[in-house]
A and B are shown apart, each in its own frame.
Chain A
Amino acid sequence: MASTFSAYLIGKSGIQAAQYNLKVTGQNISNVNTDGYTRQRVNSYAVGSSGNNMRYSNKSDLAIGEGVVSTGISQLRDPYLDVRYRMEHSKTGETGTELTTLNDLQTIFDEIDKDGINSQFTDLVKQLNTLATTPSDTGLENIVKNSSLLLTKAFNNAAEQLSKIRTQQTDSFKSDAINKVNTLLQNISHINQEIKSANISETPALELTDQRNSMLDELSQYVNIQISTKPVTIGAGRTVDELSVNLITDDNQKINLIENDKYNQFDLTVKSNTDPADQDPVTIVLKDSVGNILKNGSGDPVLTNADVTSGSFGGYLSMLNDNGEFDAKAANGSDPAVAPTTRGIGYYENILDRLASEFSDMMNRANSTNPTTDPANPTIPNKPLFTTTDGTSTTGITAKNISISDAWNNASGTFITATKDETLPGVDNSKAGKNILYMVNQFSTETTYKTTEGTTLFASSINSFVSNISTTLGLQIDTLSKQNDTYNSTLTDIDTQRASISSVDVNEEGINLIMYNQALSASSRFMTTMDEAIDTIINKMGVF
């Protein structure tokens, strides 16, 4: 026969299991709106009868089970969805960051509802055309001079704003993004330590795991990471998991960021004036937790700019370092006909400088009276209209330093060469104006612009150059923004799937409450029944 009081144990286990279930349901309901919370449930299994295969077992004891035992609490989470989420998140991080920078650039180049360099060019051509009909009118030439002055100021302004955007993005990279990631790396490694020690003492630390998952999600926005766990023996035949986070490069190399409780830190170096000219404007480095740059066996830094290609970091690096078509160098073995990188801030800086230099060169040559006989050795124009800020130099003109030449600024009387080709004998025909018409014609002549290495930029005329840049930028933004929308919607989908598995449904928990409550009542009722039965045996059997 079975033991008298063993049934109590069955009841007690039932009550305990029901209590655990109720408590976990309560935990789920309280955390219904907590970000990143994964719903929990109790793992329990029925206990079979023990000792059946032992030496002194009693066969007449029907092998009735001995209740229920709760072994632990687990989370309902699909780790594969986490991997997909993080991959998608790094893409949205990259496109989001690039969009912010490009939208800032658009405020400089977009002239749909405001006036900028483009409308200033139109005004200059208009004034030149009017001057061509009466070139001897110094009043009209002053208007042309003023229009040109405004144009140089528009150039200077645009260049300054470009440089400001660059500084702002560099600062935002350094102070916001990198600091944030470093804090995350540090925090994740601390939590790793806590989770591991909790696991060693056999508690699953589910809330800490949820926290760590949130932080990993956030980290994935900034860099393209890969997470791996490896089991580590802690003696007595037991193992616990250690988590490590690696940065994955395009050719599948892994660069370690976190190894359980050890973490590395990112840092950004900005190019200074003393660095070589072909160095990237910003360089990212990986340092250990005390601040030494991590180097590989041959003394080179472990992390280079080429390794970080996606996530917010990839977006920043691409906007700050890439120059689009201007990066195509035949010397590097790249095909100069193809743009090897995206068009970042550098592309727009270079192309604006190009416009300034082509425009001023065109005007200076049209105005000079010393023609070039040898095209390989062009003479320096002798009556320059536009120079650098020093007022005389006509080489190295950029958008930042283009100005009216001192000679034009201080000239009384006319300075624009109105006639160049023929002199009529006996009379002063310097006012005939054909050269000014030539200048007007040059504005609308289409040329194909190439970089110094021979990559084609585009074919355009000077007066439509800026609207071409604006359209190029607009197309880039449009494409990127559609990509961003697609990535974001995929991200939302994955998140919805995750929530579908892991988030708490109040209806479900409510049903569970009723269910577990009934189970509790049922077990309690069983205890009461057993109590009555044993009471009968103890107090009423064999008593007369």
Chain B
Amino acid sequence: MRITMRMMANQYSKSLNNSLSQLNSASSKATNYRKFNKTSDDPFSASQAYRLRRESAENDTYQSNIGNIEDQLSTAQSAMMSIHDIVSQASTGDTIQAITGTMQQSDRATIATKLRALQQAILAPANTKFGDKYLFGGSDMNEPAFSIGSDGTSLLYRGIDVNTGKIEAGSTTTINGALIQFGKNSGVPNGYTLQIADSGAVGSTPQASLSGSTITLTLDLSTAKTNQDVGNALKNMSSADNTTGFDFSKLTVTGDLNCPVTAATASDPTYDTLTPDQLKSLSKEQSLVDLGMGLKLNADGSINTQSVFDAAIPGISFLGFGTADGTGSGISNNIYTLLGQIADQLESSDFSIDKIKPYLDNFTKQGENLMAKITESGTKSNFLSTTKASLETMGTAIIDKDQNVEYVDPADAIMDYQMQQAAYNAALQMGTKIMSKTFLDFMT
């Protein structure tokens, strides 16, 4: 093939440019140690890198979730232990064990006083706070879980009497994702429903009327759009607009306050007492946390509880609820109430060992129940620490893999750069040798 100087010059300049571009890429690798700077440089590794980064971020979230839950759980356990200490104290030789059939009135009074003091001591750990969260309120961690009712003696869990299931705030119903409690003296009977209707007139004042067992609230739905607005409308209604005969001034609305209301919205029937089954479901309330165990859904779309961690500790699950015989006035299953009932028995004028024995037996039984719950919580802590360790190992492994995919070994990168530089310098030196003399230089 015929070769001309121009062809040689072109080829040389192309090869030099190639060498320079390789030098450029080697120098950029030697500065940021990345294997690739854009997806198109290496699409396969890039897709791996995206996935690994995502997994690493998820792992970080799980680790931080575990960190929070672990601390909460250990605080909860020490609170439960201190309640158990109180129970043990109540069962010792100079209190419950000292009860015999032949005690004197004054001895009984002493023991009763001690028991009532111990009873009071239970409340503080039962409302333990971690940071600004109350630990034993189930899913509601903003309010103290336990309180004393207006009669001064009954224990309320989230506003519900733990023995009778009676709701302190009176008539209650759920509507559109919110909980409406009409207030203690509202006068609303059970089984009534609240119905929302659109007045159709912009700016009209809300009106409440009664027909049969349906309370109808008519309001302007173009301005009053959410559950919060409904609650405010009822609460602030003047007596002229309220023809139902009920008092709504103490009404409270909680829950999904920003849910929009439509004209067809109607509430469930009102109630003011929980059945024992409903109390039981309160005690089994769950608060689910994703710890990377493979969050899954069931076929009906609900969360598969095996794939997440339940971090809720409803107070009544370890303090006990309801009564032994199911009636409102029977022997309580709740440790706090039991202590009070035992003290009442001791102080009553017709004290007999036979009458007090079922209370004492139930007290022992509930004490064992508390211990069982504490053990269960300990098992959960163990599980958390194993999970945490394995998450940490996995997290490190993911980061290592990501480093391997995205970064080069610094030693390799620098050596590569030196080699490219030497190659480039050699190519530069060849230039003058190639493009030197032609025939014309030798013509005389």
Contacts and interface: CB of A to CB of B under 8 A. Distances in A.
A270 interface: no
A298 B290 CA distance: 68
A434 B308 CA distance: 10
A510 B439 contact: yes
Given A112-B37, A506-B439, A430 B255 contact: yes
Interface in A410-433: 411, 413-415, 417, 421, 423-433
A133 B257 CA distance: 20
Interface stretch (B119-127, B241-249, B295-303, B355-363): B295-303
Interface stretch (B173-181, B213-221, B230-238, B387-395): B173-181
B229 interface: no
A480 B389 CA distance: 46
Contacts of A415: 258
Contacts of A477: 39-40
B142 A136 contact: yes
Interface string A487-529: 0000010001101110111110011011000000000000000
Nearest to B139: A432
Interface stretch (B76-84, B105-113, B187-195, B280-288): B280-288
B389 to A, nearest CB: 20
Contacts, number: 222
A118 interface: yes
B61 A413 contact: no
B223 to A, nearest CB: 14
Main secondary structure of the interface of A (DSSP, over half): helix
B256 interface: yes
Contacts of A133: 65, 68-69, 287, 289, 311
Interface stretch (B2-10, B341-349, B425-433): B2-10
Contact of B290 (A109, A440, A511): A440
A109 B40 CA distance: 11
Given A136-B141, A438-B301, A122 B43 contact: no
* Residue among B3, B50, B58 with the highest chain A CB neighbour number at 10 A: B50
A415 B260 CA distance: 10
Main secondary structure of the interface of B (DSSP, over half): mixed
Nearest to B286: A432
Given A112-B46, A136-B141, A510 B287 contact: no
Given A129-B290, A425-B278, A440-B295, A110 B439 contact: no
A483 interface: no
Contact of B274 (A32, A132, A426, A475): A426
B167 interface: yes
B39 A434 contact: no
Given A438-B303, A478-B43, A503-B7, A136 B36 contact: no
Given A130-B64, A429-B285, A433-B287, A473 B179 contact: no
Given A111-B50, A421-B302, A507 B438 contact: yes
Nearest to B284: A424
Contacts of B47: 467-468, 471
A503 B2 CA distance: 10
Interface of A: 32-33, 103, 106, 109-113, 118, 122, 125-126, 129-130, 132-134, 136, 369, 382-383, 407, 411, 413-415, 417, 421, 423-434, 437-438, 440-441, 444, 463-464, 467-468, 470-471, 473-475, 477-478, 481, 492, 496-497, 499-501, 503-507, 510-511, 513-514
Interface of B: 1-7, 10-11, 14, 34, 36-41, 43, 46-47, 49-51, 53-54, 57-58, 60-61, 64-65, 68-69, 133, 138-142, 158-160, 165, 167, 172, 174, 176-179, 228, 254-260, 262, 271, 274, 278, 281-282, 285-290, 295-297, 301-303, 308, 311, 438-440, 443
